[in-house]
A and B are shown apart, each in its own frame.
Chain A
Amino acid sequence: MKLAFQIALRFLTSNKSQAFLITLGIAIGISVQIFIGSLIDGLQVSLVDSTIGSVSQITIESSERNEPLDNYQEIETIIGKNYEEVTAFSPTLTQGGFMLFDQNFDQMLYRGFDINKANVIYKFADAILPGGAMPREGEVLIGQTLANNNDVSVGDTITLISAERDTLEVKVAGLIDLKVASLNELWIVGDMKIAQKVFIYDEGNATAIEMQVEEPFDADILTDRMTEDLKSYPISIANWKTANEQLLSGLSGQTTSSLMIQIFVVISVVLGIASVLAITVLQKSRQIGILKAMGIKDKTSSYIFLFQGFILGILGGILGIILGIGLLFAFSTFALNPDGTPIVPIVLNPGFIALSGMIAVLASTIASIIPAQKSKKVSPIEVIRNG
């Protein structure tokens, strides 16, 4: 083994330009694989983040229409204890109603939260426009469009009116831009206590519990588990996947096409290396014949070519990773949106990059099996007789 490795190394270093070209071939294949893989990964993450990153991924509601959940704290305790996967948990009291400011009267959706818990999901703090602040007691945030339509500004006091004509005056702590037109036109965000007062709910009532989870794509599995665990409560549990089938099929289509591209890149790398190494067996058949005349075994001679493939794979893998990261860096530096952010935020996944490196090594070692087998068949007498 050791001798085969040492001879392989010498064969490679004795023809550096050829070794470099093969290495470059592998490296370009692997860098394209890393680039495409990471690009699609980044695209998916940003797509998933922008579509479901700031919404509830699993929502628990009462099984009875328009009825609140009575004891959401109990459910919170159960989920807090048994579901490490849940990263954000926020009860909400949400109810449609109206708002009055000056002579302006408009419809709105009041979203009552424990504002700090809800902030994890909806990122209100980031959505507040300059001049605003997070609401304190008796204060609310108001959607940008709703505010503009009714000439509301920060510091104004507006009146919330329920369908039953109960009213409450609240102060506007800030305007928010949630990047979704329908939310900006409708939402007023504040504490649950305000909702309890305007819409007459008991303490401990919530219209829904909203959650985010570690792996959004596992939301359906978690939903099934929760449905089982919480079956004694009169609730229904929904997740984002059932509501976004088109997005899901788009994402899985993207994943599949990215995988197909990567597979074909790897296949072309393998074929390229196999054909080049097959030629090197011809180039080196004289040396192999001499070595066999001196007593090297067929197996050892085949290892020489396996090691050549292995060494080229390692070099190509390392160079490919460097090139791939360079490409990603260039792409995220030069392909920018007008606001200076990258068009696609690149996600460097060390696991994926390591996998690509391993693919390079594995692919080129596998590609060297045929030449290795060929070298077994080289007969010393052919070389000696034919010069």
Chain B
Amino acid sequence: MDSIIKLNNINKEYGTTVKTKVLFDLNLDITEGSFNGIIGQSGSGKSTLLNIIGTLDKPTTGEVFINGKRTDQMTNNQLAILRNETIGFIFQFHYLLPEFTAFENVMMPYYIQQNQFDKGAEKRAHELMDLVGLSKVKSNLAGNMSGGQQQRTAIARSLINSPKVILADEPTGNLDSNTSDTVYELLRDINKKLETTFIVITHDRRIAEKTDRIIEVRDGRIYSDFSRI
């Protein structure tokens, strides 16, 4: 299988006067359609790694390729289009827009693509929301839902534009263990059905063990990389 994400010699430093190096000469290849887990202690650099893959952050040095395109030299506009079309994000704190309903939040990446509130993808949004079990709260404002519902809304939102890659930063971090199991099953299902590539950061070894590949990051370096496929 082809690699959809490729990182070459990524270094990341923060700060201007006092420099803190977070990532050290990191190389990584992610195969298209795979389900990858990134584990590591907090402060190990795994979130920075995910943000660099997601083009939200830029490496200090090194090359990032997504879908064959080099992203670390793209303009803000090019990155915005790439993120919108290729990448779906699921964050730990879900980051929904509180002014919009669950349904509108799910539609938002599509609206951004169309540059207006367009009804075109509504059917798909309904399907996705049914898929993640949100049929009853579609028209609730984002703030008027439980944590699990909000997280599932974020999942449906990450899928609306059928992205090739979904990046999830502890998507079950603040959910109870039953709900996190359900969410993982769901992500896994989507991975199988839609062949979407997943990179999921998790603290939960139990869940990490269900992935195709476990990458452990320690002190800004890949400490271990174990693949089941």
* A residues neighboring B (CB under 8 Å): 1-3, 6, 10-11, 14, 286-287, 289-300, 380-381, 383-385, 387
Asked whether any CB of chain A lies closer than 8 Å to the CB of B225, the reply is no
* Contact A298–B56 (Cβ < 8 Å): no
- What 0/1 pattern do residues 126 to 164 of B give for CB contact below 8 A with A? 000000000000000000000000000000010000000
Is B97 in the interface zone, CB < 8 Å from A?
A: yes
Name the A residues within 8 Å of B85 (CB-CB): 295
**Contact across chains for A295 and B100 when beta carbons are under 8 A apart:** no
B115 engages A294 (CB within 8 Å):
no
Residues A293 and B76 in contact in the complex (CB < 8 Å), given A3-B117, A6-B116, A380-B56: no
Q: How far is the CB of A342 from chain B (nearest CB, A)?
A: 48
Are A294 and B109 interface neighbours, CB within 8 A?
yes
Within the complex, what minimum Cβ distance (angstroms) separates B93 from chain A? Answer: 6
B91 within 8 A of A: yes
Nearest chain A CB to B139's CB is how many angstroms away? 14
Is the CB–CB distance between A292 and B80 below 8 Å? yes
A52 to chain B, nearest CB (A): 58
Any A CB within 8 A of the CB of B89: yes
Contact across chains for A297 and B80 when beta carbons are under 8 A apart: yes
State the CA gap A75–B127 with chains docked (Å).
88
**Smallest CB–CB gap between A12 and chain B, Å?**
9
Nearest 9 A-B pairs (CB), nearest first? A295-B84, A2-B116, A14-B99, A295-B83, A381-B56, A290-B95, A381-B57, A295-B80, A297-B80
Interface centre among A294, A299, A384 (most CB of B within 10 A): A294
The residue that B112 contacts in the complex, of A291, A298, A299, A381, with Cβ under 8 A, is A291
> Which A-chain residue is minimally distant from B96 (CB atoms)?
A290
A3 near B112: Cβ-Cβ < 8 Å = yes
Q: A213–B56 Cα gap in the complex (Å)? A: 70
Number of chain B residues whose Cβ lies closer than 8 Å to a Cβ of chain A: 32
Q: How far is the CA of A383 from the CA of B56 in the complex (A)?
A: 10
Residues on the A chain within 8 Å of B99, using CB: 10-11, 14, 287
Distance between A13 CB and nearest chain B CB, rounded to angstroms: 8
Kindly list chain B residues whose C-beta atoms are within 8 Å of the C-beta of A298.
76-77, 80
Residues of chain B contacted by A381 (CB below 8 angstroms): 51, 56-57
Known: A3-B115, A295-B80. A384 touches B97 (CB 8 A): no
Contact A294 B100 (CB under 8 A): no
> Could you show 8 A-B contacts with beta carbons less than 8 Å apart?
A2-B117, A293-B83, A294-B83, A294-B108, A295-B83, A295-B109, A295-B112, A298-B77
Tell me, in angstroms, the Cα distance from A291 to B100 when the chains sit together. Answer: 12
Task: Kindly provide the distance from the CB of B196 to the nearest chain A CB, expressed in whole angstroms.
Answer: 16
CB of B180 closer than 8 Å to a CB of A: no
Query: Across the interface, do A297 and B77 meet the contact criterion of CB distance under 8 Å?
Result: yes
Chain B contacts with A in 66-115, Cβ cutoff 8 A: 76-77, 80-85, 89, 91, 93, 95-100, 108-109, 111-115
CA distance A387 to B112 in the complex (A): 22
Contacting residues, chain B, for A299 (C-beta < 8 A): 77
**A295/B113 in contact, CB under 8 A:** yes
Bound form: Cα–Cα A298–B85 in Å: 16
Contacts of A383 in B (CB 8 A): 95
Whether B117 contacts A384 by the Cβ 8 Å rule is no
Q: Which B residue's beta carbon lies closest to that of A4?
A: B115
**Across the interface, which residues of A come within 8 angstroms of B100, CB to CB?**
10
Contact across chains for B56 and A291 when beta carbons are under 8 A apart: no
Which of B47, B99, B116 has most A Cβ within 10 Å?
B99
A6 touches B117 (CB 8 A): yes
In the assembled complex, the Cα of A10 lies from the Cα of B82 at a distance in Å of: 26
Chain A neighbourhood of B76, CB < 8 A: 297-298
Q: How far is the CB of B125 from chain A (nearest CB, A)?
A: 14
For B116, give the chain A residue with the smallest CB separation.
A2
Within the complex, the shortest CB–CB distance from A143 to chain B, in Å, comes to 75
Query: Could you tell me the distance between the alpha carbons of A298 and B81 in the complex, rounded to whole angstroms?
Result: 11
A296 to B211, CA, bound (A): 31
**A293 and B95 contacting across the interface, CB-CB below 8 Å:** yes
| Cα of A300 to Cα of B111 in the assembled complex, Å | 12
Q: Per a CB cutoff under 8 Å, which of A11, A294, A385 touches B51? A: A385
Find out whether the CB atom of B112 lies under 8 angstroms from the CB atom of A384. Answer: no
Pairwise interchain contact A291-B113, C-beta atoms closer than 8 A? no
Give, as a whole number of angstroms, the nearest-CB distance from A23 to chain B.
Answer: 18
Residue of B nearest to A284 (CB): B99
Given A6-B117, A294-B84, A295-B80, 11 extra CB contacts under 8 A: A3-B114, A3-B117, A11-B99, A289-B95, A291-B112, A293-B54, A293-B56, A295-B82, A295-B83, A295-B109, A297-B81
- Min distance, Cβ A293 to any Cβ of chain B, angstroms: 6
Between A289, A291, A295, A383, the greatest number of chain B beta carbons within 10 A of the residue's beta carbon is seen for: A295
Chain B positions within 8 Å of A297 at CB level: 76-77, 80-81
A384 with B91: in contact, given A2-B116, A295-B113 (CB under 8 Å)?
yes
